[in-house]
Structure 1
Amino acid sequence: MTARRVERWDVYELRLTGPSAGNPYRDVVFGADFRHRHRVVPVDGFYDGCHDGRGLYRVRFMPDRPGPWTYTTRSDAPELDGHSGEFTCVAAVPGNHGPVRVAGPRRFRYADGTPYEPFGTTCYHWTHDENEELEERTLRTLAASPFNKVRMCLLPTRAMNPPRLPFPGRTPGALDTARFDPAFFAHFERRVRDLRDLGIEADIILFHPYDEGHWGVDNMTREEDLSLVRHTLARLAAYRNVWWSIANEYDFNTAKTVEDWDHIGRFVQRHDPYQHPRSIHNGTRMYEYERIYDFTKPWTTHQSIQHWDAARTPRWLAACPKPVVLDEIGYEGKLGRRWGNLTGRALVRQFWHGVSAGGYVGHGECYPEQDPDHAAWISRGGRLHGDSAPRIAFLRRLREEGPEDTYVYFGDRRHAHRDIDLPDIGAPWRLDLIDTWDMTVTPLPGVHRGRARVPLDRRPDLALRLRRAT
């Protein structure tokens, strides 16, 4: 029985039974057209396996306008074609702001106009072991954290041996990539919904180079790639908290070219009815070179960058007027790799460099020896052990209190004072001195115009907040 009333930006799902013979994932075309007044939104459906001897088909839709909607199914299978119905989209409840949209060259907003600033973290494979206790612990940790976006992978790595994979089969190199495992996707999408209910965006990484030919998922054919993408979009795009990362460290995958990635990106752009945020993430030999993607390409909505220096954000903004999200800048931890042994203070400094330069920075943590499951947060989730998360929470609170405030960050330098040229806005400024590590805000006396001398007392990790005095 399908719902007759659906909340705005929630999911309407239609379930039908149909053919199960052959390979319905490839052989059956199924979808629906949803109508509101004169607007028609075509949506792909998907086959979800055989139940009680019949094939189960689903189509999911996220209505974005209140009022009556109708639908009609379309399929080359007669028993799935021509089904029609209607439902009413009702107002969103508090906390449901809709999907995130790009709002200019530096900003994001939810669909209802509420500002959104990504304070992201990375948990690449927190869903893949299907360890319920560990996953619930991860969700509890996220609920108490400042993070409102999680980067998570769809495909396994070479080193993993998960109970299920997106494709049927358990033999490396012999997965049935012409079909999908409904149980894997049901578990994965349940966790996407859990993140949605916490107000957290799921930045889903579709491809990566870490299989190294083991399972055979990093060197599939274009047809296999697009089949996986189409199925994933049909299942997940109706969830309002989804982002698409076409690949993580795309340039480390030697089986694909930039043209291949562009083809996949354009495919996502065409087949996502809701136009969720889309990007692609570069690799880098830390401190040796960078290979930033050409984000001027129309299919990208924002810049997802791996780099060790957030202070370069203005350069990327100048090259491409799309929001800069440094999803990977290095991780707090004690690993033997340079990308995994930043101090908490070093990571917090990068967050402040990014914010003061007009960008956003992502978090990650690697302290497996401190976790009872020996789980590094970036790979399996669990608990946070580092020093950076509370300071990132402090920064997020400041940003939400005054999204239009301006910041000047002084970093690790120990100045006695700094002379700051204040923007001429026709009104004076109030200045606050922020200790980004001790998490304090100290108002400086008076109001200021022109040039202001800011006493810093030779302390590092200070920032200056500029607020209109009026």
Structure 2
Amino acid sequence: MKKSFLLGISFLFILSFGLMAQEQVERWNRVELSYQTAFKGNGHQDVAFKAIFVHADTTLTISGFYDGNQTFKLRFMPTRLGIWKYTTQSNVPGLAKKTGTMECIAPSHENHGMVRTNSSVHFTYADGKTYYPFGTTAYAWNHMGAELQQLTLKSLQKSRFNKIRMCVFPKNYDLVKEEPILYPFVLQETKRDAQGNEVKVWDYNQFNPAFFHQLEKQIDALQSLGIEADLILFHPYDKGRWGFDAMPREVNIRYIQYLLARISSFRNVWWSMANEWDYVKSKTIADWDELTRTVVNADPYRHLCSIHGATATYYDYWKPEFSHVSIQDESPVQSPNSAAMLRNVYHKPVVLDEVGYEGNLKSRWGRYSPETMTHLIWNGVIGGTYVTHGESFMFKDHRDTIFWAKGGRFIGESWKRVGFLRQLLEEGPGPLNLSDVSRDNITSSGGKGNYLVYFGKQIQEYWMFNLPINNGAFGKLTAGTRFRVDIIDTYGMTIQTLPEIFETGKENDYRFFDKDFKKIRLPEKPYLALRIREIR
């Protein structure tokens, strides 16, 4: 039996009295136990293999998986500090009654654990650090060649994105036609249909470990960059080319269970049940409900889980299996109020994972200007939600490296502005919420005495200093409060601190103006914001 302790794991050797070494692993890091043994039948279906991990106050059941070459593996992510003991169970003698212990130690500075919602409308890491999802989209980057995959990772490293939407299965679409090198199942045969087209026939009883090795390698690479992998488990962009969008029910369930046995111990994964679920004609809502329950039941750590539909197609996101809302709809980010209303309906974090893309495509969803893409993201954030970026530039034909589909280099401009916005939020006291919801559609706050005012497309010469008396959960503003103001050019990415000090006067119809009714001279351009911070 071989044990590998991955990602920053150390060992403590106890030398006295002949005791064995006590293995140590950081909290939320991954432990892999590997066993080689002879068995009869199909290692993917005929072998039952799991382990019970026991802590003083927690017990987790971890499913094992067959990795080919008579090798079975278990992967475990400790969630509690202290000693963990494990015992394996199997119908194969060579895998049963294996025991061991490990000590979970405090995580390193960069290790914040999984992202969670904690019954909030925002996200945090497991250690309590606020997580602001500033994601991008590269659906099939993991199915491109090694050179393009490395280029994608280098581009992500230069950006400030901390989430990426990506597909497990390969994609067959007008703008991405490349044949993948690896497939999730073993190829049984290749034949021709009546029209002479090549048809691949899969052995759905045999997973291809090499396919999953590649996926795991890239998830780990993303983790090293601080990026969450929002994995799309199913999608409709197959159209009979491989048949992965129309597999039998029992194959879908086995696929989910195998995938989660392999990667639920990776702390930087999210589950997206589907992209445009309503376009997958082989599945009903009842099917999606069953598959979602399968994911949740197979995940001992309860990673984030949602489902994504076509434009303005909303699933029943109130269901307890869904940790957050993932939607395709540009309407809610036409103003911060609309975004805030959507969040207040679901009482869960809202990620508008597709509002359109910066690019030059003929399709209207793929030809936003960089200013528009940036503006929609700002609207969503001011409203207390989050918006996923993407870009889709094509200069010749579908063989172009379009980041939205294949990864590669960022060609547009909005990705830089997303990084600037993320920096602003992370410098603030906390996630944003409209200060006076439904009454004020430009003023948001992340804490007492801290405001962001976003003017959007509006161009004006002056703005009279004023703030709402209400500030959500942070209490009401009072007279005599002093503030300093920064003018932010959200597209130019500049911050100008004004020398004047502003002080609230008497309350006037639920608002406070400066006691001397001071005005702020604004640059006459769109996409400006003000950062207003109390002087204490």
Same fold (TM over 0.5): yes
Matched residues in 2 for 1:191 and 1:294: separation?
32
**1:469 maps onto 2:535 in alignment:** yes
Check the 8 A contact 2:234/2:273 in 1, yes or no.
yes
Amino acid at match of 1:408: V
Check the 8 A contact 1:368/1:377 in 2, yes or no.
no
Amino acid at match of 1:184: F
Matched residues in 1 for 2:67 and 2:71: separation?
5
Q: How far apart are residue 137 of structure 1 and its match?
A: 1.3
Choose 206-215 or 307-316, whichever is displaced more.
307-316
**1:118 maps onto 2:133 in alignment:** yes
**1:347 maps onto 2:409 in alignment:** no
Check the 8 A contact 2:352/2:388 in 1, yes or no.
yes
Q: How far apart are residue 25 of structure 1 and its match?
A: 0.8
**1:239 maps onto 2:266 in alignment:** yes
Paired position in structure 2 for 1:422:
468
Scaled by the length of structure 2, the TM-score of the pair is 0.82
Q: How far apart are residue 319 of structure 1 and its match?
A: 1.3
What secondary structure is seen at the aligned counterpart in 2 of 1:296? coil
Amino acid at match of 2:459: R
Check the 8 A contact 1:282/1:292 in 2, yes or no.
yes
Check the 8 A contact 1:73/1:80 in 2, yes or no.
yes
Check the 8 A contact 2:55/2:84 in 1, yes or no.
yes
**1:5 maps onto 2:27 in alignment:** no
**1:174 maps onto 2:201 in alignment:** yes
Q: How far apart are residue 454 of structure 1 and its match?
A: 4.7
Amino acid at match of 2:185: F
Check the 8 A contact 1:245/1:280 in 2, yes or no.
yes
> Per-residue CA shift, 1:303-345, capped at 9, x if unaligned?
1111113132122112100011111111111111112111111
Check the 8 A contact 1:370/1:385 in 2, yes or no.
no
Check the 8 A contact 1:204/1:245 in 2, yes or no.
yes
Choose 416-425 or 182-191, whichever is displaced more.
416-425
Matched residues in 2 for 1:447 and 1:407: separation?
15
Paired position in structure 2 for 1:299:
321
Amino acid at match of 1:299: E
Q: How far apart are residue 457 of structure 1 and its match?
A: 4.8
Check the 8 A contact 1:371/1:383 in 2, yes or no.
no
For 1:102-117, what aligned pairs fall within 5 Å after superposition? Answer: 102-117=117-132
**1:442 maps onto 2:496 in alignment:** yes
Q: How far apart are residue 262 of structure 1 and its match?
A: 1.4
Scaled by the length of structure 1, the TM-score of the pair is 0.93
Check the 8 A contact 1:447/1:469 in 2, yes or no.
no
Q: Indicate which of 24, 30, 34 corresponds to 2:49.
A: 30
Amino acid at match of 1:195: L
Amino acid at match of 1:298: P
Gaps of 5+ in 1: 285-289
Q: Indicate which of 307, 311, 321 corresponds to 2:347.
A: 321
Amino acid at match of 1:347: M
> Per-residue CA shift, 1:19-57, capped at 9, x if unaligned?
45422211111111111124211011101112xxxx110
In structure 2, the CA distance between the partners of 1:247 and 1:448, relative to structure 1 (3 Å rule), is farther
Q: How far apart are residue 294 of structure 1 and its match?
A: 1.6
Amino acid at match of 1:8: R
Matched residues in 2 for 1:273 and 1:218: separation?
26
Check the 8 A contact 1:356/1:406 in 2, yes or no.
no
What secondary structure is seen at the aligned counterpart in 1 of 2:244? coil
Amino acid at match of 1:10: N
**1:137 maps onto 2:189 in alignment:** no
RMSD: 2.0
Q: Indicate which of 34, 38, 63 corresponds to 1:44.
A: 63
Q: How far apart are residue 432 of structure 1 and its match?
A: 2.4
> Per-residue CA shift, 1:97-135, capped at 9, x if unaligned?
111111443211111111110000011111113x22211
Q: Indicate which of 74, 79, 82 corresponds to 2:97.
A: 82
In structure 2, the CA distance between the partners of 1:431 and 1:104, relative to structure 1 (3 Å rule), is farther
Check the 8 A contact 1:100/1:277 in 2, yes or no.
yes
Paired position in structure 1 for 2:73:
58
Matched residues in 1 for 2:495 and 2:327: separation?
31
Amino acid at match of 1:446: I
Matched residues in 2 for 1:250 and 1:364: separation?
20
Matched residues in 2 for 1:98 and 1:332: separation?
32
Q: Indicate which of 403, 409, 427 corresponds to 1:377.
A: 403
Check the 8 A contact 1:313/1:359 in 2, yes or no.
yes
**1:412 maps onto 2:426 in alignment:** no
Q: How far apart are residue 224 of structure 1 and its match?
A: 0.9
Paired position in structure 2 for 1:187:
214
Paired position in structure 2 for 1:287:
none
Check the 8 A contact 1:332/1:340 in 2, yes or no.
yes
What secondary structure is seen at the aligned counterpart in 1 of 2:207? coil
Check the 8 A contact 1:333/1:386 in 2, yes or no.
yes
Paired position in structure 2 for 1:214:
241
Q: How far apart are residue 161 of structure 1 and its match?
A: 1.5
What secondary structure is seen at the aligned counterpart in 1 of 2:237? coil
Between the aligned residues of both structures, percent identity stands at: 42
**1:203 maps onto 2:230 in alignment:** yes
Q: Indicate which of 510, 513, 519 corresponds to 1:451.
A: 513
Q: How far apart are residue 352 of structure 1 and its match?
A: 0.6
Check the 8 A contact 1:173/1:213 in 2, yes or no.
no
> Per-residue CA shift, 1:135-175, capped at 9, x if unaligned?
11111111110100011100122344111111111743521
Choose 207-216 or 16-25, whichever is displaced more.
16-25
Matched residues in 2 for 1:20 and 1:145: separation?
48
Matched residues in 2 for 1:294 and 1:105: separation?
18
In structure 2, the CA distance between the partners of 1:141 and 1:463, relative to structure 1 (3 Å rule), is same
Check the 8 A contact 2:39/2:92 in 1, yes or no.
no
Q: How far apart are residue 18 of structure 1 and its match?
A: 3.0
**1:308 maps onto 2:330 in alignment:** yes
What secondary structure is seen at the aligned counterpart in 2 of 1:178? strand
Amino acid at match of 1:436: T
Q: How far apart are residue 451 of structure 1 and its match?
A: 2.8
Q: Give the structure with higher Rg (CA).
A: 2
Matched residues in 2 for 1:389 and 1:157: separation?
24
Check the 8 A contact 2:25/2:105 in 1, yes or no.
yes
Matched residues in 1 for 2:360 and 2:406: separation?
16
Matched residues in 1 for 2:412 and 2:523: separation?
28
Matched residues in 2 for 1:225 and 1:142: separation?
31
Check the 8 A contact 2:486/2:530 in 1, yes or no.
yes
What secondary structure is seen at the aligned counterpart in 1 of 2:203? coil
Q: Indicate which of 166, 174, 180 corresponds to 1:162.
A: 180
Q: How far apart are residue 266 of structure 1 and its match?
A: 1.5
How many residues were matched structurally?
Answer: 460
Q: How far apart are residue 398 of structure 1 and its match?
A: 0.6
Gaps of 5+ in 2: 6-22, 191-198, 431-445, 470-475, 505-511
Amino acid at match of 2:108: V
